[in-house]
Amino acid sequence: MDSWKHIQKVVIASWIIIFFWGFTTSSSGQGVVIKQSNDNGIYKSGQSARITLLLEHKEHDSVSVAIIRDFTERQTMWIVNPGTDTLEIFSETVSGPATFIFEARTKTGSASIGLIVDPEKYKPGTGRPRDLERFWRSEKTELRALPLQAKEVPVPHTDAGYQCFNMELNCTGPKPARGYFARPSSAAPKSLPIIIYFHAAGVYGDWCRSKPEIALRYAKMGNGSLAFDLNAHGMLNGQSDSYYRDLEDNELKNYAQTGLENRETVYFRGMYLRLIRTLDYLTSMPEWDGKRILVIGESQGGGQALAAAGLDKRVSAVIATVPAMCDWGGSLVGRKGCWPYLFETENNREKMLAALPYFDVAHILKGSKATIVAEIGLIDQTCPSSAVFAALNQAKGKKIIFTVPYRAHHLTQTAYQEIWQNNVYKPIEDFMHDYLK
């Protein structure tokens, strides 16, 4: 296995999957260590998967071990007086597609690790509407028939050599697109790429709000870019905390699970129209090089980035971290659906089946030729790996996929922070910088 201690690139059809070997084989915390036989957490049907547990401290008198299959079936066992020897907690020939998560807990520590079998075989849990393209063509035609009105309020004290604006773009609905737009003060025509940054779920949190510094950060990358930090909800920028708190408690309370029985009222319709409007605005800039559009986001933002690549063929590259809105129908076929778990609500099932697939990234992304860089956590129970693969498998472009056996939706196992920083975050940053040269 020594030859596998470095990053390996395995090409499967149109896929480029980057696995991290050696240092990702185990998960540990407070003296609890879980290891698996395939360092990368990826298995093929017919392979043997062996999971072992080691408690490094003698004082542990018992350990709880949970095995979760397909994010739905959970088995728990107690091991009393485990000692300090390595214990085999799972040894099976696996068949897929399937996922497993292994969790071990003592009084003082815990560790988790995940694996996935035949990830390339995952398909969406719902059928793709035959008229999906026609529906979105109609939506875009209506949007583009509305004359674009861009309200630009300059942000004072912007960094030298750059301009930044508080932006509002009118939209067919139900809210305008709002965010911050930054660019170099002077650039030659057809010289700059476009970057759009999308935000994770929520309303009030600091991570949900557009900021001039985010737009400016991306505007400075490479030789400069046309950078837009788009908030998800069309809400005003730069307001008081009370404004965002009121939105979260009232108008936007449980926003993602509203209007699910009609495709005209599904919340994501407006969210996607706003990102299309933003793309149209940016591509109208004479400085755009006509080739490069990079969209970036995490969780809900990652879902928006993938949706952008499916809805607009001009999008050339995506960076999506633990993306949401993928394969909502997973729960209909025996596995867990992705955030925000729409088919798990108490709305009318048949009406949801007639509406939601038009907004599911697993269907929107079909046929996209954009280069996709994705990070997938194999113990992520918010945006399950099976759901994300069900979506990514529909795209036709190059894919660079970082599968991280120790990552949940957030990097909660802090022992891996430095490893993740060096071997996941940094390569993704390097891709971005190379792409924008």
Point out which residues pair with 226 in neighbouring strands: 194
Last residue of a domain, one of 95, 121, 147: 121
Same domain flag for 401 and 347: yes
Same domain flag for 171 and 78: no
The three-state DSSP-derived secondary structure of the chain is CHHHCCCEEEEECCEEEEECCCCCCEEEECCEEEEECCCCCEECCCCEEEEEEEECCCCCCEEEEEEEECCCEEEEEEEECCCCCCEEEEEEECCCCEEEEEEEECCCCEEEEEEEECHHHCCCCCCCCCCHHHHHHHHHHHHHHCCCCEEEEECCCCCCCEEEEEEEECCCCCCCEEEEEEEECCCCCCCEEEEEEECCCCCCCHHHCCCHHHHHHHHCCCCCCEEEEECCCCCCCCCCHHHHHHHHHCCCCCHHHCCCCCCCCCHHHHHHHHHHHHHHHHHCCCCEEEEEEEEEEECHHHHHHHHHHHHCCCCCEEEEECCCCCCHHHHHHCCCCCCCCHHHCCCCHHHHHHHHHHCCHHHHCCCCCCEEEEEEECCCCCCCHHHHHHHHCCCCCCEEEEEECCCCCCCCCHHHHHHHHHHHHHHHHHHHHHHCC
Same domain flag for 405 and 294: yes
pLDDT of res. 83:
66
Same domain flag for 206 and 107: no
Is residue 339, in this structure, part of any structural domain at all? yes
Quote the domain boundaries for residue 102.
26-121
Is residue 363, in this structure, part of any structural domain at all? yes
Same domain flag for 107 and 147: no
Same domain flag for 154 and 111: no
Is residue 214, in this structure, part of any structural domain at all? yes
Residues 30, 56 contacting (CB under 8 angstroms): no
Structure tokens at 83: 């000692």
Instruction: In whole angstroms, give the CA distance from residue 338 to residue 302.
Output: 12
pLDDT of res. 29:
54
pLDDT of res. 128:
98
Q: Which residue has the tokens 């290891």?
A: 35
pLDDT of res. 60:
59
Is residue 384, in this structure, part of any structural domain at all? yes
Last residue of a domain, one of 121, 156, 175: 121
Q: Please list, in sequence order, all residues whose beta carbon lies within 8 angstroms of the beta carbon of residue 249, skipping any fewer than 6 positions away.
A: none
Is residue 16, in this structure, part of any structural domain at all? no
pLDDT of res. 109:
86
What is residue 194's three-state secondary structure? strand
Using 50 as the pLDDT threshold, list the residues of the chain that sit under it: 1-25
Same domain flag for 239 and 181: yes
Is residue 161, in this structure, part of any structural domain at all? yes
Same domain flag for 345 and 417: yes
Residue spans of alpha helices (H) in 117-240: 132-145, 212-219
> Exposed, middle or buried: residue 81 (CB in 10 Å: 0-12, 13-18, 19+)?
exposed
Same domain flag for 82 and 194: no
Determine how β-strand 150-154 pairs with β-strand 87-93: unpaired
Same domain flag for 73 and 145: no
Same domain flag for 175 and 37: no
User: In CATH, what number is assigned to the domain containing residue 222?
Assistant: 3.40.50.1820
Last residue of a domain, one of 59, 87, 121: 121
pLDDT of res. 107:
84
Is residue 157, in this structure, part of any structural domain at all? yes
User: In CATH, what number is assigned to the domain containing residue 90?
Assistant: 2.60.40.1930
Give residue-wise pLDDT tens across range 262-317.
Answer: 999 999 999 999 999 999 999 999 999 999 999 999 999 999 999 999 999 999 99
Is residue 8, in this structure, part of any structural domain at all? no
Number of domains in the chain: 2
Among 407, 425, 370, 377, which residue's Cα sits nearest to residue 392? 370
Q: Which residue has the tokens 């980057």?
A: 18
Q: Please list, in sequence order, all residues whose beta carbon lies within 8 angstroms of the beta carbon of residue 138, skipping any fewer than 6 positions away.
A: none
Same domain flag for 91 and 172: no
